[in-house]
Structure 1
Amino acid sequence: MIAIENITVQFAEKKVLNDISIKFEQGEMIGLVAPNGTGKSTLMNVIMNYLPPTSGKVSFNGNLSYSSKSNEVKIHEFVSMMPDQSDLYNHLSGRAHLKMFATMWKSDPKMIDETIEALNMGHYVNKKTGTYSLGMRQRLCFAMQIVANTDIMMMDEVMNGLDPNNIEIISKILMKKKAEGKMIIIASHLLDNLEKYADRIFLFNEGKLVDTNEIIEGFSQAKIKTVRVKNMEESVKALLKEKYPLIEQQTLVTDMTLLHLPSSEPMLLSELTEFLVDNNVMDFAFGKVTLNDLYALYYHEVV
């Protein structure tokens, strides 16, 4: 468990993190979403004590905090952050990197071959990392954290440079680790993937963490209370507002219009479908507000 208590990080006049207090539990996958430079990486660096906060503290499992160097050593026995590609040694093989991490965290050496197989790395893992493509290097960085096998794992843009097949492979490994009781904190711009797997998702606003459920009530629940309409004409919007005044309309920078229904009654859904078709609106779908929608709504930009 991580308890973040009144954490503030300030550079000159700018508060990157502003009095954040929150708890994360074991067995949770936490998603962090925001434009670059708004605090995602800063929060992770504070949790790792790579960056001391201006004020506040982080504690683990109830009482362990970064109050001394010996405590930091204890914490880093069960907390890890995925290495960056720049941390790799080009003259060493991928297998050598995995052995190094397994040794540093005293994890089961059997995990090395298991992870190599799970990530389909067998055909290149014995080569020097200086010969790797960006995608191969990214998989190796992920594999290094997996073989460390810490109870708390943090990852900043873990899916960068990966094709859909490898994204799916990594996602399944993360779900397996979550089922084992690991806490996984991920900052990512792959919103579809994050929405699919994360238990809680937070956006950043003026240095604060904002739960997606606070922005859209019941966001994490799969309820059909939204219709997503692409390129809806203004005349149709006006007509819809006149006929259904209780349906809230929001148009995003993506030209997607969200119609928030007051209820998901079948009769209302049927009436709305008939209205849209009668007004030559064919490109629409019933469902829920997506994380991509929410991002565009909140930050007025597209990922």
Structure 2
Amino acid sequence: MLELKNIGVNFSGRDILKEISITFQPGEIIGLVAPNGTGKSTLMNVIMNYLRPNSGKVVFNNGLEYSSKKNEVKIHQLVSMMPDQSDLYNHLSGRQHLKIYSSMWNSNPELIDSTIKALGMESYVNKKTGTYSLGMRQRLCFAMQIVSDTQIMLMDEVMNGLDPTQVEIISQMLVKKKAEGKTIIIASHLLENLEKYADRIFFVKNGSLDLIEDIYSDLGVNGNMVIRVKEGTEQLKEKLAKAFPELSIQLLASGVTLIDFPKNEADRLESISAFLSDNDKPEFSVGKMTLGDLYSKYYH
């Protein structure tokens, strides 16, 4: 178990984290979603004790805290953070890196070969990492954390530089580790497939962690359907707002116009469809509100 008690971090008078109190349980995957620079990596650094909070404390199993160097050594046998690509040694092979991590955490050496096989690294794992591509280096970093086999695993932008096949493989491994009782916290601004494996997803904003279910309710869009109109304009948004003042209409940074409306209102959908056709926007899609839609509404 991992518990954060009233964690506060302040830089130059700005609250990066503000009285964060939350408990993460074994067998749970947590997603932390936010634009860069909003505090998700800061929170992980606090959990690892790389950064001391201005207030509050981090508590691990059986009340263990960062109250002494001796305790920190004990805690770092329970928790690990996925290494960054800049932490790799170009003159060492991938297998050598995995052996180092297995030795540091005194984990089962058999995990090395099984992880190499699961991630499809056999063809290059014995080569020096200086020859690796971005995706190969990212898979190695993920593999290094897997072989550490700690109870709590922290991952910052784990899917960076990976193709869809690799993303799916890593997603399946995360679900497997969850079934083993691991607590996994993943910080990311990439929303694709996060909903598939995360038990709870939080958006980080203004120093707080906001659960997405609460955000849906706060924005009044829980259970809504959305229409996505490609190549939207500010002019189209204004026309829609005038024609349908009761609906939430937003022009996203991507140029998509997002219209959300209560589901099971077929007549409303017909009216919007006819309006878009009359305004030379006959092509649109209708579906459930995605995590990406919510992200755009919440942050923009």
Q: Same fold (TM over 0.5)?
A: yes
1:166 aligns with 2:182: no
What residue in structure 2 maps to residue 247 of structure 1? 247
Give the 5 Å matches for 1:27-176. Answer: 27-61=27-61, 63-176=63-176
Q: Is the 8 A contact 2:237 2:251 kept in 1?
A: no
Post-superposition offset of 1:228: 2.1
Residues 175-222 of structure 1: per-residue CA shift (max 9 Å, x gap) = 221222222111122211323332222222222222222332299x99
Post-superposition offset of 1:283: 2.6
Q: 1:13 to 1:243 in 2, by over 3 A?
A: closer
Give distance in 2, aligned partners of 1:126 and 1:237. Answer: 56
Q: 1:70 to 1:246 in 2, by over 3 A?
A: same
Report the AA paired with residue 14 of structure 1. Answer: R
For these two proteins, the number of residue pairs brought into alignment is 299
What residue in structure 1 maps to residue 217 of structure 2? 217
Q: Is the 8 A contact 1:223 1:287 kept in 2?
A: no
Q: How high is the sequence identity, in percent, across the aligned residues?
A: 61
Post-superposition offset of 1:19: 1.6
Give distance in 2, aligned partners of 1:237 and 1:10. Answer: 39
Give distance in 2, aligned partners of 1:262 and 1:164. Answer: 32
Cα-Cα RMSD: 2.5
What residue in structure 2 maps to residue 18 of structure 1? 18
What residue in structure 1 maps to residue 187 of structure 2? 187
Report the AA paired with residue 184 of structure 1. Answer: I
What residue in structure 2 maps to residue 298 of structure 1? 298
Post-superposition offset of 1:144: 0.6
Post-superposition offset of 1:280: 4.2
Report the AA paired with residue 246 of structure 2. Answer: L
Greater alpha carbon shift after TM alignment, 31-40 vs 208-217: 208-217
Post-superposition offset of 1:82: 0.5
Post-superposition offset of 1:128: 1.9
Report the AA paired with residue 150 of structure 2. Answer: T
Give distance in 1, aligned partners of 2:20 and 2:117. Answer: 40
Q: 1:113 to 1:222 in 2, by over 3 A?
A: farther
Q: Is the 8 A contact 2:225 2:260 kept in 1?
A: yes
Greater alpha carbon shift after TM alignment, 237-246 vs 24-33: 237-246
1:257 aligns with 2:257: yes
Q: Is the 8 A contact 2:82 2:141 kept in 1?
A: yes
Q: 1:61 to 1:284 in 2, by over 3 A?
A: farther
List alignment gaps of at least 5 residues for structure 1: none
Q: TM-score, normalised by structure 2?
A: 0.88
